[in-house]
Amino acid sequence: MRLRFALAALLPALLSLAVMALVADRLARRALDDELSARLVVAARAAAAALPADRVARLEAGQESTRTYGHIRARLLPVARATGTRLFVVRPDRTALVDSEGRIPIGEPVPALERDRFEIAEAAAGRAMASQILFEGSDGRLYKTGYAPLADEAGNVLAVVGADGNAASFVTLRRFRRLLGTVAIAGAVLGALVAALASLSVTRPLTRLTEAARRIARGDLETPLWRRERHDEIGTLRDTLEEMRRALRARDEERETLLAGIAHEVRNPLGALDLFAGLLAEELQGGPQAPHVSRIQSELAALSKVVEEFLDYARTRPPLREPVDLRLLVAEVADLAAPLAAQRQVSVSFDGEGEAKADREQLRRAAVNLVRNAVEAAPAASEVELVARAADGEATIEIRDRGPGLAPDARASLFRPFFTTKEKGTGLGLALAKKVADAHGGTLALEEREGGGTVARLAIPAEPTATRTLTGRAHRGAGAAHG
């Protein structure tokens, strides 16, 4: 689109520039040519007027040293000098009579005049005119010739006078052309620059809008759009998109508040149910109904896991910013995941260094969920690696496993609450981790690991960034959850 835009702006400009240069060149050339032609014809006419036609026409071969010849040349010379031309007289059949420089023998045909056959014939018919074609003289310069009839007193044309003139003005034309070329190229470069800038000024905000729309599509409703800086269509588009983002977020918030309220109401009776199921299990111990009760107990456990995890998810508030020792954090996380790892015969190695300004509790919950996923995906006897680092203003926590990797069609939905591919999954682990990453102005990505498996990478700015405005979104949800 950028290219199309630039071309649309540039092509007409270039085209008109080229046409203009061409027309200017033509006009200048024509003007110079006409001017030169007129000058040469005038010179030829002046010479014709100065010459005694009868005596010139009577010149014969071999008379080059006669007085008559000298006399005639003497008449030609001042005209030649005055007009800056070389003058010659030929018969209508283009054989030489006399010339101002006295070089061509009388009666000799002049082959060089072949090209001006038409003009000489016209002059012989009484119509003075200049040659159409420029020719290169022995000095390498361009010449043109004007022809005029040489007539006796009765008006009979006896010979034709030619005036060769140097087309010096064509040097100027060449210079003019070079100038035109330079101007055209400079114009094209300038045009290209302006077109590129203009196209950038349109496509850049469009790219930004596209990015923002993509972000929203990915479910990031927290990051506000850039502040409005233009009052044109693009500004309006930005406003509309921002409005849409706010509306979506408000809807999300409402739904979450509602769910958190329900989860909270469910949690209390769940506790009681679990207590009584425990009592019942003791009473029925060894009896035929014992398996039913233990089934009730395991379903209750699953249910309270969903409720707890959801409340955890909904409770995520704007993060505190406390110094978090990453080494201690990973040790703690590995510890929390140890029971699950032992049960699945997976070992968890951990390594951490550096510090981040973040919400320790939220970071830990996010990391625990990621490690749990890794342990659940990892084959028995394999190792899950947990590494946290702070570098280049960014703190990253990486969790690597040797599991089967992500299902291709799961990729798009990973961070959606309640998306799970596991029979007993809640689908809230990644949603929570993502929420924590977003709240910290960071990112969460799950990637294929080299050699098989998955790498989950949670990255947050090591220092909070001032530009992010965190809204009270989670406050309301948390209010209900704590309520």
Q: How far is the CB of 424 from ligand ADP (least distance, A)?
A: 8
DSSP 454: E
Stretch that binds ligand ADP, among 136-144, 249-257, 270-278, 414-422 (CB under 6 A): 414-422
59, 167, 377, 481: which one contacts ligand ADP (CB under 6 A)? 377
Cβ 97 vs Cβ 159: under 8 Å: yes
Stretch that binds ligand ADP, among 47-55, 243-251, 293-301, 401-409 (CB under 6 A): 401-409
Q: How far is the CB of 372 from Mg ion (least distance, A)?
A: 5
Minimum CB distance to ligand ADP smaller for 100 or for 369: 369
Minimum CB distance to Mg ion smaller for 30 or for 422: 422
Closest CA to 106 of 143, 55, 43, 181: 55
420, 441, 443, 459: which one contacts ligand ADP (CB under 6 A)? 420
> What distance lies between CA 402 and its chain's CA centroid?
41
One-letter amino acid at 427 equals G
**What residue ranges bind Mg ion (CB under 5 A)?**
373, 429
96, 123, 195, 414: which one contacts ligand ADP (CB under 6 A)? 414
Cβ 158 vs Cβ 151: under 8 Å: yes
Minimum CB distance to Mg ion smaller for 145 or for 373: 373
Minimum CB distance to ligand ADP smaller for 203 or for 347: 347
Q: H or E segment at 442?
A: none
Q: How far is the CB of 437 from ligand ADP (least distance, A)?
A: 13
> What distance lies between CA 381 and its chain's CA centroid?
51
Classify residue 428 by burial, with Cβ atoms within 10 Å: 0-12, 13-18, 19+.
buried
SS3 406: coil
Closest CA to 431 of 316, 305, 348, 268: 316
DSSP 95: B
* Positive or negative torsion for Cα 322, 325, 331, 333: positive
Structure tokens given for 378: 């990892």
Stretch that binds ligand ADP, among 58-66, 139-147, 350-358, 368-376 (CB under 6 A): 368-376
Q: Tell me if 307 contacts ligand ADP by CB under 6 A.
A: no
Q: How far is the CB of 13 from ligand ADP (least distance, A)?
A: 55
Q: Tell me if 429 contacts ligand ADP by CB under 6 A.
A: yes
Which residues of the shown chain bind ligand ADP in the complex (CB under 6 A)? 369, 373-374, 377, 401, 403, 406, 410, 414, 419-422, 425-431, 454
